[in-house]
Amino acid sequence: MYAVKKPVENPYLIRERDRKKARELLAFSVALIPPLCVLFWAMRANLETIQIGYQLGRLEKQREVLLEKRRQLEVERANAASLARTELIARASLGLGPARPDQIILVQGKALQPVPAPLPRVDQEPAGVSPSAGVPATGSPAAGSPATGSPAAGSPATGSPAAGSPAAVPATASTEEGF
């Protein structure tokens, strides 16, 4: 019953616009825009703060996971670099052992020179004979040492590594006379 619309029976009735009310409505709308902008800006800032908080929580969890992984990797690196493990691998897998005196070469300047042989004991060897191969008891380089430039027996040209080759030089060879 309320939905029934009655047609206007007075065809001469003309509705005029109320200009004063239109101006009031326009002024009210314009006055309402700045507070609504501030309200929407505050809501947006609050939502961004909440999103940043969630993102910060996710990043903190990720940081903790990465720090734990870093600690584990540092422990693994320490275990892998431990001297006992390195020595075990060197002895077992690679067949390495302590360097013999004839394998040690001191690096002085730019020339490689064999280490002078230790003085033999009188009860073990005759005088003038060195226990190292090719090095006289005087300590001068042998004929075929890298200092003279001629190939020696056991040099790479013959197939087996020489005592002075880089493969036979231990890491502790340069620990004498301030090196």
Q: Give pLDDT, residue 176.
A: 45
Q: Assess whether pLDDT exceeds 50 at residue 178.
A: no
Residues 110-151: tens digit of each pLDDT:
666 666 677 776 665 555 554 544 444 454 444 444 444 444
Specify the pTM: 0.36
Q: Give pLDDT, residue 72.
A: 97
CA distance 135 to 111: 16
Domain positions in the chain: 18-96
Residue 142 contacts residue 152 (beta carbons within 8 Å): yes
Q: Give pLDDT, residue 124.
A: 54
- Closest to 132 in 3D by CA, of 145, 143, 121, 116: 116
Better-scored residue on pLDDT, 112 or 162? 112
Residues 18-77: tens digit of each pLDDT:
899 999 999 999 999 999 999 999 999 999 999 999 999 999 999 999 999 999 999 999
CA distance 101 to 124: 16
The secondary element (H helix, E strand) that includes residue 35 is helix 19-80
| Average pLDDT score over residue span 68-97 | 90
Tokens of 176: 């004498």
Tokens of 8: 């206007």
Q: Give pLDDT, residue 105.
A: 82
Q: Give pLDDT, residue 30.
A: 95
Q: What is the CA radius of gyration of the chain?
A: 47
**Which are the contacts of 125, defined by CB distance < 8 A and separation ≥ 6?**
131
Q: Give pLDDT, residue 3.
A: 72
